[in-house]
Structure 1
Amino acid sequence: MAWPPPAYQPMPPLAQQRRTAYARPIRAPWWQREGVISRALAVAGVAVTLIGVVMLLVLAAQAGFFGPVPRVAVGALFSGALVAAGTRVYGKAGGRVGGIALAATGIAGGYLDVIAMTTLYGWLNPIAGYGVALGIAAGGVALAVRWRAQVLAVLVVAGAAVLAPFVTSGITVELLGFLIVLEIAALAVHLVRDWPWLHVVRTIPAVLATLIAVIGTALDSGPVSDRHETLAAAIMVAVAGLAGAILSGRRRAGDVTASLSFAASALPLLAAPIMFDRAGSVVVSGVFGVVLLVLAAMPMLPKLGAAARIPGHLVVTSALVGAFALLEACLGVTDVQTLPLALFVVAMGFLAVAGQRSSRVAAGIGAAYGGLGALTFVVRTNPGVLTYQPEAEDHLGMSTALVAVTALGVLGVAAWCARRIGLLESESDATTLSVFAGIAGLYAVTALTVSLGVATGDHNGFRAGHAIATVIWMVTATAALLFGLRRLARTPQRAKVALAAGLLVTAAALAKLFLFDLATLDGLLRAGAFLVVGVLLLVVGTRYARAFADMGARTPTA
């Protein structure tokens, strides 16, 4: 019995699901956000109140209101009352912002009061004043650490530093001392707290004030004691910056702000040589550079580096600042003739260290010194001097020959360093570096031979130098081509680089031979240059043909 087929019933439509639109949360305007207005009002209150303290201490004294004792006493009592009120408010619910603002105002006001007692009224010896100020600033920072409030430490340091020049009536040695005290008072906090903004706030005021003092002292023909005091301030600023970077770096290796703050703190000492004569400037910049380079070299010694635990970014910063200071020393100890030599010698030292330790930072510094040396060398031995005999006889000699030899030494050390740190692994990079090195080497060789020819004192020395330079160019090209042909089967990458370099130098030698030597040389010098270059071309051409014939013979035929 067959069952009848079921009647077709269409599927009922699915109920449409209503899409619910999720509204984005509406952000409240900035003035309605929690804590924004209270913080802004608190900061404004700190600024206005501290300005009032300065007016009480300075403007009231200028106008003759009250006496020194009442002014200082009122300032001290008012500051103490603010700190006490801030401590009381901080302990209540919602009183964190107000407590921090009141305490910061009181501590900074007390600091300004001590500055006034030391500078305006002379009641405290500067050493005693620095000691009292250090205690107040350290107390403020300690309270900030206790409350875990970076903003309290920032407000204390910034408020006192910004308004201190108005109390001291300008940039004075005493002002520098009080700003340095602020910088030192905030050092210990970096052992227990990661407060990057405090690095910036404690460093920038002292740096700017000391830089202004250095420039003003250099322009002023005052006593020598002023220069020494300003130099001492610059040294203290740099030492404080370095101490902060080391303390913070040993605790937190990623604190780059500390290293940048140290770089800023080194600026006054880098500018300090302008205050002294040539010998004094060389001593200042040279000692500073050596100290920083020794610090940068510590991680290269395993035991010393493990004990010091200096982070990498501080090592780089110290190396760069030290290299700049050493450059200042080179500029001070040399003249136009010997400056390229000094730069090349320093470049070889950095490149040698870079190759030995595989340090790209040292390699970069060495390359920078080498580039500066090459620039100053080319300025003195420019193409116009090398190609015009009267100019060459006036500007070239044994000194330029010695510099040219040093330049060739830099190129040799740079090639070894590039291979050691892995810059020649890529064929394109190796080719590019070889081209630049070849051009520099040919220029140095030409300067060397022409300088030696001129140094002989013979009238034909200039021409003989150029003839020898052309021959050396072609000998170098021949050596590169023969080396490339010999390594073509074993190391084709290096062989291609050598062949490309050799062909470029060959083209350069032929261009010089026909465009310059043919018109400048005469007699046996011209004939000798053409003969030697021609023989070398025949040798290279023959060897080139044999090499590719051998390769064709070894290639299996189908």
Structure 2
Amino acid sequence: MSGWGAGAGGVPSGMSGGFVPSVPRPGGAVPPWRGGGGAVPPGVPPRWGAGGAGKTPWWQQEGMISRVLAVAGVGVTLIGVVMLLVLAAQAGFFGPVPRVVAGGVFSAALIGGGARVFGRAGGRVGGISLAATGIAGAYLDVVAVTAIYGWLHPVVGLAVALGVAAGGVGLAMRWQSQPLAVLVVAGAALLSPFVTSGLVLLAFLIVLQLTCVPVQLIRDWPFLHVVRTVPAVLATLLAIAIAAVDDPAQSRVHWLLAAAVAIAAIGVIGGLLVVRRRSGDIVAALTFALSTVPLLAAPVMFERHSATYVAAVHAAVLLTVAAMWMVPKLRELVRIPGSIAFVAAIAGSFALLEACVGVTRVQTLPIALFLVALCYLGLAGQQRSRSTAAIGAAFTLVATMVFFGTVTPEALATQRLAHERLGIATALGAVLAFAVIVVALWCARRLPGMTTGGTDESMLFVVASIAGLYAVTAAAVSIGIATGSADGFIIGHSAATILWMAAATAALFFGLRNLSRSAAVAKLALGSGLLVTAAALAKLFLFDLATLDGLVRVAAFLVVGVLLLLAGTRYARAFAEAGATNPD
């Protein structure tokens, strides 16, 4: 961490045995053993790591031992403060007033000693460690006075704690020391759970998260981003997990929701303010992402309706932040950085998924997910955004897995299972799945880096063709079942075969029309058309011939045969015309 630096007078802080400062000689000369030449005179200890012996071990590096000892001293001393405030109370030692006063006086003495030592030569490390211990101890003292002894109303106690923490980070800014701020926040956050617990603990941890936001606007201190966010997030997540299992009182659940909202709000506001000043601050964007996690987990505490409401509101807020970045005028107005918009889009998508799960049942869930995927893929194609396309693809994958769990190949091939599982919901889901396939193809062709007519595009069309055939079959059979007819299953499969062949004929006609205009487009269309034709014929002879009966089977064979004749005739004429135009 930066900020330990050199002490007053230019003397490196934290010197341990084996380090000898370079003492200037008259005329500005430096002793030869310090300048890299000459032998080391007798009585002068050699410098660690000198002589090209390789990389200096960490414990021999200048100032390292002093920093390790300082951090250890901070931790041990703060544990002693906690013992004074808590363990002494449990054992009945002293009275409440002596314990609290002793803790306050001790903390004040440490802060004063730190300020005094800091201004001396080589006193930077000691000053930082003493001041950090004193400030964190004072914070723990306020926590004890509020949570254990009840001498301060919680609101007053939180206000005093805010003042103590603000004083600590203010001193860190004045001393330009990130380690001081980190030690204050980390020490108070790590030891507060030993003083109190529950909602009071969450409140004091959120105060620490809030206090450090203004610091990040001025100083680029990435470690402070982490230590101000992680304790509040982890403690709230643990409390939410316990509440989801224990079935606590509604008031506690609402307070936990309020804590999650506060953490998320501080995260999004702090992230926006910081990254607007320093667009490359990735740590700020990551801590913003971390701050959204408790609110994403909060719905598990509620029943279905309330959980859906919480997730929907959270999704609306985050996706609004992400959407502002996509509108040029709004982006210039609010100056939302791309990293924050990306994190908001990802977190908002998770919240939207929670809302979709909450508002639907198993059979209707694919409908909601395919609709969301359709919106994302359409927006991605319009904006040419890879990240938005990736989110749309993720929703498509989840929707497909859920849809496939109901509309299995066995359900499509067996009349009994089809009548049990399929209906209007699966029909609508299949239609939306087909729409997603079409929009996904359009989106993929518009994304940067997609080469027209390449191998990747050919494979994409092959996969899309197979998925499209499955969606058409599912839609046709589901609609047939939904009509309530006894022959709905048979009629649906007959219609599916005809639709397969109709789509193949249309693809072949489109490809033949583009033979002279675009060879790449013609190749893709003709390849897809021939593939679907082969699939239609395979289904006709391998499945329909054995399953269908009566006029339905006759109609399927007649329509497919006529379409084959039309396709073959048009195919022969197109290549004959091409040969006449280019006799060579």
Structure 2 letter corresponding to 1:340 = P
1:419-447 Cα offsets, whole Å, 9 max, x none, are 33346533223212212221121111111
1:309-333 Cα offsets, whole Å, 9 max, x none, are 1211111100000010010011011
Aligned counterpart, 1:94: 122
Aligned counterpart, 1:307: 333
CA RMSD of aligned residues (A): 1.5
Q: Which moved more, 1:96-105 or 1:212-221?
A: 212-221
Structure 2 letter corresponding to 1:49 = T
Say which of 536, 540, 544 aligns to 1:509.
Answer: 536
Aligned counterpart, 2:179: 151
Alpha-carbon contact 1:423-1:429 (below 8 Å) kept: no
Cα deviation for residue 361 of structure 1 reads 2.1
1:323-375 Cα offsets, whole Å, 9 max, x none, are 10010011011101211111111112222222332222222212211221122
Aligned counterpart, 2:345: 319
Equivalent-residue separation in structure 1 for 2:238 and 2:59 (angstroms): 39
Aligned counterpart, 1:382: 408
Alpha-carbon contact 2:450-2:457 (below 8 Å) kept: yes
Equivalent-residue separation in structure 1 for 2:55 and 2:446 (angstroms): 57
Q: Does 1:487 align with 2:514?
A: yes
Say which of 138, 142, 145 aligns to 1:114.
Answer: 142
Alpha-carbon contact 1:75-1:113 (below 8 Å) kept: yes
Alignment TM-score, normalising by the size of structure 2: 0.89
Cα deviation for residue 123 of structure 1 reads 0.4
Structure 2 letter corresponding to 1:295 = V
Equivalent-residue separation in structure 1 for 2:253 and 2:512 (angstroms): 65
Equivalent-residue separation in structure 1 for 2:361 and 2:482 (angstroms): 20
1:442-497 Cα offsets, whole Å, 9 max, x none, are 11111111112112222222111111111110111111111111111210011111
Equivalent-residue separation in structure 1 for 2:249 and 2:85 (angstroms): 30
Q: Does 1:221 align with 2:247?
A: yes
Equivalent-residue separation in structure 1 for 2:173 and 2:96 (angstroms): 34
Q: How does 1:244-393 map to 2 (within 5 A)?
A: 244-393=270-419
Q: How does 1:394-433 map to 2 (within 5 A)?
A: 394-422=420-448, 424-427=450-453, 428-433=455-460
Equivalent-residue separation in structure 2 for 1:126 and 1:500 (angstroms): 72
Equivalent-residue separation in structure 2 for 1:422 and 1:263 (angstroms): 27
Task: Call closer, same or farther: CA 1:549–1:270 in 2, change over 3 Å.
Answer: same
Alpha-carbon contact 2:452-2:520 (below 8 Å) kept: no
Alpha-carbon contact 2:100-2:145 (below 8 Å) kept: yes
Cα deviation for residue 23 of structure 1 reads 7.1
Q: Does 1:446 align with 2:473?
A: yes
Alpha-carbon contact 1:351-1:363 (below 8 Å) kept: yes
Q: How does 1:523-538 map to 2 (within 5 A)?
A: 523-538=550-565
Say which of 27, 40, 47 aligns to 2:75.
Answer: 47
Say which of 176, 192, 215 aligns to 1:164.
Answer: 192
Q: How does 1:124-135 map to 2 (within 5 A)?
A: 124-135=152-163
Q: How does 1:446-465 map to 2 (within 5 A)?
A: 446-465=473-492
Q: Which moved more, 1:393-402 or 1:512-521?
A: 393-402
Say which of 80, 84, 91 aligns to 2:112.
Answer: 84
Percent same amino acid among aligned pairs? 60
Equivalent-residue separation in structure 2 for 1:545 and 1:303 (angstroms): 54
DSSP-derived class of the 2:517 partner = coil
Equivalent-residue separation in structure 2 for 1:311 and 1:25 (angstroms): 47
Structure 2 gaps of 5+ residues are 1-49
Q: Does 1:554 align with 2:563?
A: no
Aligned counterpart, 2:6: none
Say which of 69, 80, 88 aligns to 1:60.
Answer: 88
Equivalent-residue separation in structure 2 for 1:27 and 1:500 (angstroms): 62
Aligned counterpart, 2:22: none
1:70-115 Cα offsets, whole Å, 9 max, x none, are 0000100000110111011110111111100000000000000000
Equivalent-residue separation in structure 1 for 2:157 and 2:183 (angstroms): 21
Q: How does 1:173-252 map to 2 (within 5 A)?
A: 173-252=199-278
Task: Call closer, same or farther: CA 1:517–1:77 in 2, change over 3 Å.
Answer: same
Alpha-carbon contact 1:423-1:430 (below 8 Å) kept: no
Structure 1 letter corresponding to 2:123 = G
Aligned counterpart, 1:139: 167
Structure 2 letter corresponding to 1:503 = L
Aligned counterpart, 1:123: 151
Structure 1 gaps of 5+ residues are 1-21
Equivalent-residue separation in structure 1 for 2:552 and 2:158 (angstroms): 78
Aligned counterpart, 2:34: none
Pairs aligned (count): 534
Aligned counterpart, 1:16: none
Aligned counterpart, 1:17: none
Alpha-carbon contact 2:445-2:452 (below 8 Å) kept: no
Alpha-carbon contact 1:57-1:71 (below 8 Å) kept: yes
Alpha-carbon contact 2:357-2:365 (below 8 Å) kept: yes
Q: Does 1:33 align with 2:61?
A: yes
Alignment TM-score, normalising by the size of structure 1: 0.93
Cα deviation for residue 48 of structure 1 reads 0.3
Task: Call closer, same or farther: CA 1:424–1:522 in 2, change over 3 Å.
Answer: farther
Equivalent-residue separation in structure 2 for 1:181 and 1:157 (angstroms): 10
DSSP-derived class of the 2:195 partner = helix
Cα deviation for residue 265 of structure 1 reads 1.1
DSSP-derived class of the 2:489 partner = helix
Equivalent-residue separation in structure 2 for 1:341 and 1:172 (angstroms): 41
1:138-196 Cα offsets, whole Å, 9 max, x none, are 1111111111111111100000000000011xx31000000000000110011111111
Cα deviation for residue 288 of structure 1 reads 0.4
Equivalent-residue separation in structure 1 for 2:183 and 2:104 (angstroms): 18
Alpha-carbon contact 1:285-1:329 (below 8 Å) kept: yes
Cα deviation for residue 244 of structure 1 reads 2.0
Alpha-carbon contact 2:276-2:336 (below 8 Å) kept: yes
Aligned counterpart, 1:4: none
